[in-house]
């Protein structure tokens, strides 16, 4: 009775494994499927939210590409001032910064939209040189929305922004912006040069990178007329073009010289040369140009070899002490290099720094030779600015000796660790000290600006592992120099292929816009799949709930009838009991 009353009160049937095995089994399976279906619905809704956010971000990217295209159109003008170019470069840099922000965008949970399955918080990072690297995963994150169906929750940034197919191959959106900015940094014109012979009768041109094969064409307008040239170039070998130019010298008055490295010189005496209608096909350069270059040669004089005669300077100054008149208010502040050669020694060099109070600080630059311990050195006031102060005096505190060097050791001497009586710099040396203390000097780098016969002194403190000042220094003489010629290139004018900078950039922007549109279409398709699956799963969930209710819900009519019958039986039993209880044993015996 109690069980029936409970079922009637709750509306739920009491299922016992012993009595309702099949119902219990069906209920367990239905509840498990209901939980799974509810999770699929939650996944579908989360995916739709994420993809909606992603699509909104891609829409922002396309807006930035429209602004980039507008800048490319405006900058396509063949006459741009330096200020105009700077303005467009600044615009490109600002657009790139906004693109980076969008590419690194996250959802409300902090997950990146374009990091793939990577846990990187910032999938796109800009290097110091401006290039952008992708640090995320190349695999997109997917979420299961039903048995047998998963949809994308995000996209790999490399797929969206760095693998865009164009007519000239794959490119990156960030590289595209860099190329646009770079194309504005040097003044260019649209397929036609200025008079290249305006100041001189020759001009050097640097031609673009052809890759394995490309075609180049242009018109040379000279004082003799206009002449068309077209040539196929293989592997940056422009010798065929030079040969064709020289085959026309009688008509054009122009001769050509091939310098290699994509550079040729055109020479003539007509005073007029204009290059027109520059065009190309198949160039490896994304923004090919003909550049007018000036090459300036410079000669560097470095040490070819040192003299085999080296002087081991004994009895150089190890330290100084016992200063007299070290501070004098009349002594001008500054740093002074002074060579002091008293009677007891020669060629000692000091760097003396005087502060605002006239106090002198003495540093030994070259310890010299022939000094006696305790000798007095006097630095005249005239050598320290000549302000009327008293002469500076100090004593020699110890002298150097070859035996204080560290033996059987090689010391590397840097470019700023020695002194020279010349103007050279940058040379470096290795000094080997043998077991007797004698030094062997080997040249490791020749430096520049040296002259034959210059003296170089290496301080003794550098030839002791302990850095002892009383280690003898080494002086040797340069016995030969070399001359190296280096070329410095400057670009004076660039000739673009008939607005090709604009055309190339503009076409690639259009390719990028189309690529993003295709990605958005894929985003929409995944979102629709998630939406359709959510709808189907919701219907399934409703059906499951109905089935579960059928199993769980009690038959109230049956329960009430059963309870009523049991109550009647109970009342009848109680009445019978009452009648029996009121009779005695004699009543029954009759």
Q: What is the pLDDT of residue 4?
A: 45
Cα of 240 vs its chain's centroid, Å: 39
- In whole angstroms, give the CA distance from residue 320 to residue 87: 62
Is residue 441 within 8 A of residue 430, CB to CB? The reply is yes
Over the stretch 114-168, which tens digit does the pLDDT of each residue have?
988 877 789 999 998 889 999 888 888 888 888 888 888 888 999 999 889 887 6
Report the mean per-residue pLDDT for the chain: 79
- In whole angstroms, give the CA distance from residue 307 to residue 329: 46
Of 245-254, 282-291, 316-325, 495-504, which has the strongest mean pLDDT?
245-254
* HSE, side-chain direction, 13 A CA sphere, residue 442: 8
Nearest to residue 201, comparing CAs of 270, 264, 256, 255?
A: 270
SS (H, E, C) 158-205: HHHHHCEEECCEEECHHHHHHHHHHHHCCCEEECCCCCCCCCCCEEEE
Is residue 433 within 8 A of residue 463, CB to CB? The reply is yes
Beta strands at 188-190 and 473-496: parallel, antiparallel or unpaired? parallel
DSSP 369: B
Determine the topology of domain 25-184+503-540 in CATH: f41 fragment of flagellin, N-terminal domain (1.20.1330)
| Spans of all domains in the chain | 25-184+503-540, 192-288, 303-486
- In whole angstroms, give the CA distance from residue 522 to residue 530: 12
- In whole angstroms, give the CA distance from residue 271 to residue 86: 34
Of 33-42, 221-230, 458-467, which has the strongest mean pLDDT?
221-230
Is residue 222 within 8 A of residue 271, CB to CB? The reply is no
Both tokens of residue 287? Answer: 């923004």
* More confident: 169 or 202: 202
Is residue 182 within 8 A of residue 491, CB to CB? The reply is no
Q: Which residue has the tokens 């020669």?
A: 346
Predicted TM-score (pTM) of the model is 0.46
- In whole angstroms, give the CA distance from residue 553 to residue 546: 10
Average pLDDT over residues 357-373: 84
- Residue 20: how many CB atoms within 10 A of its CB? 15
Among residues of the chain, what percentage have pLDDT more than 70? 75
Average pLDDT over residues 86-108: 91
Choose the weakest-confidence range: 86-100, 114-128, 386-400, 452-466: 452-466
* HSE, side-chain direction, 13 A CA sphere, residue 19: 4
Of 129-138, 245-254, 313-322, which has the strongest mean pLDDT?
245-254
Architecture per CATH, 192-288: 2-Layer Sandwich (3.30)
The SS3 assignment for 477 reads: strand
Over the stretch 483-506, which tens digit does the pLDDT of each residue have?
655 555 565 677 766 444 556 788
Choose the weakest-confidence range: 177-191, 262-276, 406-420, 541-555: 541-555
Q: 305 pLDDT exceeds 70?
A: no
């Amino acid at each position: 009775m109690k069980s029936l009353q409970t079922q009637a009160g709750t509306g739920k049937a009491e299922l016992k494994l012993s009595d309702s095995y099949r119902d219990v089994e069906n209920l367990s399976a239905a509840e498990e499927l209901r939980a799974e279906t509810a999770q699929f619905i939650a996944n579908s809704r989360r995916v739709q939210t994420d993809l909606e956010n992603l699509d909104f971000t891609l829409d922002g990217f396309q807006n930035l590409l429209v602004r980039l295209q507008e800048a490319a159109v405006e900058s396509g003008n063949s006459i741009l001032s330096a200020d105009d170019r700077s303005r467009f470069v600044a615009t490109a840099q600002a657009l790139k910064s906004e693109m980076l922000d969008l590419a690194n965008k996250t959802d409300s949970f902090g997950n990146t939209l374009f990091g793939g399955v990577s846990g990187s918080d910032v999938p796109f990072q800009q290097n110091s040189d401006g290039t952008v690297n992708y640090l995320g995963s190349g695999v997109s994150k997917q979420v299961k929305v039903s048995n047998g169906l998963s949809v994308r929750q995000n996209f790999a940034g490399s797929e969206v922004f760095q693998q865009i197919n164009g007519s000239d191959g794959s490119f990156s959106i960030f590289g595209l912006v860099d190329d646009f900015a770079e194309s504005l940094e040097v003044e260019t014109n649209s397929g036609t040069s200025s008079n290249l012979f305006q100041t001189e009768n020759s001009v050097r041109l640097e031609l673009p990178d052809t890759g394995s094969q490309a075609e180049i064409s242009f018109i040379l307008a000279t004082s003799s007329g206009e002449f068309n040239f077209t040539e196929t170039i293989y592997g940056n070998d422009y010798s065929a073009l030079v040969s064709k130019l020289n085959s026309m010298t009688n008509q054009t008055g122009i001769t050509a010289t091939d310098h290699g490295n994509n550079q040729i010189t055109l020479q003539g005496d007509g005073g007029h040369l204009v290059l027109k209608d520059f065009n190309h096909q198949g160039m490896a350069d994304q923004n090919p140009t003909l550049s007018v270059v000036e090459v300036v040669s410079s000669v560097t004089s470095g040490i070819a070899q040192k003299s085999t005669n080296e002087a081991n300077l004994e009895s150089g100054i190890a330290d100084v002490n016992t200063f007299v008149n070290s501070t004098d208010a009349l002594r001008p502040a500054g740093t002074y290099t002074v060579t002091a050669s008293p009677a007891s020694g020669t060629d000692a060099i000091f760097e003396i720094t005087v502060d605002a109070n006239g106090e002198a600080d003495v540093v030994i630059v070259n310890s010299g030779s022939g000094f006696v311990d305790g000798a007095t050195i006097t630095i005249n006031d005239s050598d320290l600015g000549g302000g009327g102060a008293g002469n500076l005096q100090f004593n020699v505190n110890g002298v150097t000796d070859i035996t204080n060097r560290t033996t059987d050791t090689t010391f590397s001497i840097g470019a700023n660790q020695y002194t020279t009586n010349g103007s050279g710099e940058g040379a470096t040396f290795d000094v080997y000290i043998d077991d007797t203390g004698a030094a062997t000097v080997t040249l490791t780098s020749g430096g520049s600006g040296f002259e034959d016969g210059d003296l170089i002194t290496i301080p003794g403190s550098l030839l002791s592992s302990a850095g002892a000042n009383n280690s003898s220094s080494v002086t040797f003489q340069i016995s030969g120099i070399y001359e190296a010629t280096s070329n410095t290139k400057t670009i004076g004018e660039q000739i673009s292929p008939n607005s090709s900078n604009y055309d190339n950039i503009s076409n690639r922007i259009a390719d990028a816009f189309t690529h993003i549109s295709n990605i958005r279409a894929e985003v929409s398709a995944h979102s629709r799949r998630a939406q359709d699956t959510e709808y189907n799963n919701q219907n399934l969930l409703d059906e499951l709930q109905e089935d579960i209710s059928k199993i769980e819900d009690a038959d109230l009519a049956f329960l009430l009838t059963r309870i009523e019958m049991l109550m009647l039986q109970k009342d009848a039993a109680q009445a019978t009991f009452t009648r029996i209880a009121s009779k005695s044993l004699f009543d029954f015996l009759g």
